[in-house]
Structures are given as structure tokens and as C-alpha cells.
Amino acid sequence: MAQRGTLEYYQDIVNDTTNPELVRNQAQKQIDRLASIGSAQVQTAATTGNLDPQIQAVLNAMQAAVNAYGGKSANPQQIKQIVDDEIAKAKIDFSQLSDGLKAMLQSQTKVELTLRQMAAVSTKVVSNAFIKRPLVQDLLSDVQARNNAYLYGGAGTGKTYTAGEIADLLDWELITLNCNQFTSPIDIIGGQTIDGYQEGKVSMAWANEIISPNGDKRKVSGVVLLLDELPKLDPNTAGLLNEALAKVKDFKFDKVTGATKPPTILNGRNEKLVLGNLMVIATGNVPLNTVDPDYEANFKQDLSLQDRFVGSTYKIFVDYEYEFNSIMEGFAFIWIYGTKLREKIISLNATGQAFVSIRLMMNLKETYKVYREVVDKNKQNVGNQAFDLITDPKTVVESLVTFLDLFKPAIKQAIQDDPNTNLDNFKMVLDAKNKMPYNAKAPDFNTQDEINEANRMITAYEASKNS
């Protein structure tokens, strides 16, 4: 049956007023269903003359229901049950899709995003997967609302990475204030040093003006101010931050002129600085009003500082799906091993020694790309000036050895004793990848088995978060 015949069949049932209303309603549901599926399945039927078996099953059930009702051998509720049962069976999962459709769904589509805040306009081409992440949507809303945001979660969950991605998305400067017990007022608002006056990080971010040590000034369109590890800041020093954070939304409206007056702060020279385009993102391992013995040098901050982030405090979890499908696209073998290594380290309560971060996975990916570039070009005797000096390229295993050396001997041994994280086992995987062709422009070493394993890991992880 061709596509046109399928739709006409249902439409005839709908148009025939002699049919019971229940039967006409079920036929209309099928018309709507075929429209929602799109042309992928139905178009195949139209061009080949063979209707998809699942759609055919629904058609057969519809015909049986109509016939049964016409013969008065079934009541309307029985007819509805027959058809609903067949519709339920018609659900398809990812494994049943064609290879072409799977590739389309897994591909990275690009969307052009235009962001505006006051006078700043930034047009960026970004991945659809990134922009649709719930956390990204929340943070972009906070940018527009001028909310300070606080991200907290375990080591390696991507808090700092996310702040950098937001800055890149906005095309704003990223200024980082590393918070600890030694952070001084000069670091925050500026002040005099033995080398002369030094501008503070908060002051530069507030005024959208980057000042180098030699005094050179550079105006920027906006700033994402990252207060990294905010709970480690001495509570007395945090008071200087508190004042600035409280003023971010303190715009004054002049009823006479109709103008909006932005807030100001004073820098270390008592100069008045006018607020530009600013997004404040603070990070920490725990909520601000918490002392956690698992994290060294964390201070319980004043409740007023916590209040500066109220309504925009987010607990951050590792985003397995985004990591696999976007950041590590084409490198499932590294993502799978890195994720198992991350989970092993967490299970050993060893994240205080070292942890698997997004940055580590990216470094492993780039290391392997360099290795393949050098080795493959040497094999092909093709000269490349950028790689001429590298005769013995670093391997991913060598990178992992340096990472594992960060752990105490007992933890390192426990990692090696686990078959999922044993380096020798991973080396065998690498040996197999080294035999695969390498496309420098679009590297893809994924196998279907690895994709399936990664998807199982993602599903299990999401289930564990919700349990």
C-alpha cells in the first residue's frame, strides 16, 4: 500500500458519517500519528509499495475493529482496546532506526545564536546540543536577569569549564579570581604594591576594562567573572566581594530624564567604576553556608554572601550524554575508559588526590590526535613542518601514567587491579584503534559496540542520579 492509499484509507473512515464516532476518532489518531512520525517510514512505503510492518499492523487492527463493529461482534470499548494495543506496539527504539537516521540523530547540528544584554550583541555559531543543556539555558536566563550564579558539586563535574563555555558563547572576556585564604583585597578591588598600583579582578570585570601590569588598558564588550572555589575565601575578605555582588542589579531609574543609571563601585584608588556587561559565576564543592570535612580549607561563609546567589544556586553533576556526544565525539574509547576511571576514583573516595575532569578527557583526545598525525604521516613519508621535530610522539597511555602517579600507591594499585580501569587492558584497545584509518578533519574511531556501551553507561548514570 502506498503512502497516498494509507492516508486516504484513514480519511475515508473519518469522512464516512455512518461509521461510529469511536472508529472515526481512532482513524483520525492514525492520520495524526503518521504526520508526527514524519515522512521517513511512510515515504519508504510510497516508493517501494511495501508499508512498514508496524504501520501495517495498526491498519489491520483498524480494519478488524471496523469489521467487528459492523458485524456487531464487538462493543466500542473492545474496539478501542484492540487499536490502542497495536498503537502501543508500534513504538520504535533507537536500535530499530536505519544507519542513516542514526547518524543524523547523533550528528552535531549548528545553530546561530544572537545574544543581547544592554548594548552588547554577540553572534556565535554553537552546537545545538550545548545550547539546549538545561544548565546553559538557566545561566543564559541569569545573564539576562543579571543574577549572580553559584555552581557547586564534586571535583571534575565541569563547573569551571562551564563558566568558560558561557564566556565563549557570549564572546565576553573570562576573568578568574582564584579564591583561597591568601586572596587579598588587592586581588579583588586593587591597591598599591611594591611594583606600583595593581588593579583588582572584580574592578576590571565591573568596568569591562582589562588593565595589564604595565598599565595598558583594553576595553571589552563584557566579562564573565569566575569566583573559583569561593568557599575557600577568608570570610573577612569575602566582605569586599559581598558589596559588589549586592550592587549588580542596583540600577536607578531617573523619573525626570527617563534614563537608567547603572550602579558603581570604588576601586583601590577610590575611583568610581560604572558597571558594564557582567555575569558573575562562583564555584565551590559545597553550598556556601556549609563546612565539609572532605574539602580542605573550606570556610562557612556569611549567610549574606549566600543570599547574593539565591535563586541561582545549582548543584552540578557530570553530564555524561553531553561529554560523549559533543566533547568526545568520535572518541568513544577514551570516553568509556575515562568515565570508568572517574567512577572508580569516586568509589575509592580518592577525588581529594586527583579526579577525572572534562579537561583530562580533552587532553587525552588531543594527545591521541597528535600521535596519529605524526605516526601516520611518518608511515606515508609525507613531510609536515609542524611535526618534523617530533620523532617519538607521546601516547595516551603515557599521559595516563602521569595522571595515575598523582595517587597514593594503594589507590593506584586498586585502579590497576580493576579490569575496567587496568592500563594494560586499555592499551589493547589503543592497539586496535591504531590500526583504524585516521581522518584528521573528522576523526571517528567509534564502533557500534562502543556506542551501545556508552549509551548503557549514560542510561545507568541517569538512573543513579534519580534514585
Pairing assessment for the beta strands 173-178 and 149-152 based on DSSP bridges: unpaired
Of 195 and 292, the structure prediction assigns the larger pLDDT to: 195
Tens-place pLDDT, residues 112-127: 555 544 444 444 555 5
140-150 average pLDDT score? 92
Sequence-separated contacts (24+) of 338-342 with Cβ below 8 Å: 338/364, 339/457, 340/420, 340/421, 341/415, 341/421, 342/156, 342/318
What is the total residue count of the chain? 467
**How buried is residue 55: exposed, middle or buried, by Cβ count under 10 Å (0-12/13-18/19+)?**
buried
The reported pLDDT for the residue numbered 296 is 58
The mean-pLDDT minimum among 61-70, 175-184, 252-261 falls in: 61-70
Cell numbers representing residue 164 in the block: 568558560
Rounded Cα gap, residues 163 and 185, in angstroms: 23
Q: Which position has the higher pLDDT, 105 or 67?
A: 67
Instruction: Calculate mean pLDDT across residues 125-148.
Output: 82
For residue 119 the three cell numbers come to: 548594548
* pLDDT greater at residue 157 or residue 226: 226
* pLDDT at res. 46: 40
Q: CB count, 10 Å around CB of 386? A: 10
Q: What is the pLDDT of residues 4-20, one digit of tens each?
A: 456 666 777 778 777 77
For residues 137-155, give the mean pLDDT.
Answer: 91
Give me the mean pLDDT over the 223-240 stretch: 88
pLDDT tens digits for range 274-306: 999 999 999 988 887 776 655 555 666 667 788
Note the pLDDT of residue 122: 47
> Lowest-confidence range among 62-76, 180-194, 261-275, 391-405?
62-76
Least confident of 74-88, 159-173, 316-330, 361-375: 74-88
> Where exactly are the structural domains of the chain?
3-92, 111-315, 320-466
CATH, range 111-315:
3.40.50.300
Predicted pLDDT at 49: 46
Please tell me which residue, 48 or 350, carries the higher pLDDT value: 350
Q: What is the pLDDT of residue 87?
A: 55
Report pLDDT for 334. Answer: 97
Bridge partners (DSSP) of residue 177 are 227
Which tens digit of pLDDT belongs to each residue from 352-365?
A: 889 999 899 999 99
Q: How far is CA 153 from the centre of its chain?
A: 15
| pLDDT band, very low/low/confident/very high, at 56 (cuts 50, 70, 90) | low
Distance of CA 371 to the CA centre of its chain: 27
CA distance 149 to 278: 12
**How far is 50 from 5, CA to CA, in rounded Å?**
12
Please state whether beta strands 264-266 and 110-117 pair in parallel, antiparallel, or not at all (unpaired). unpaired
Residue 376 pLDDT class (50, 70, 90 cuts): confident
Cβ proximity of 431 and 368 under 8 Å: no
Report how far residue 254's alpha carbon sits from residue 384's, in angstroms, rounded to the nearest whole number: 64
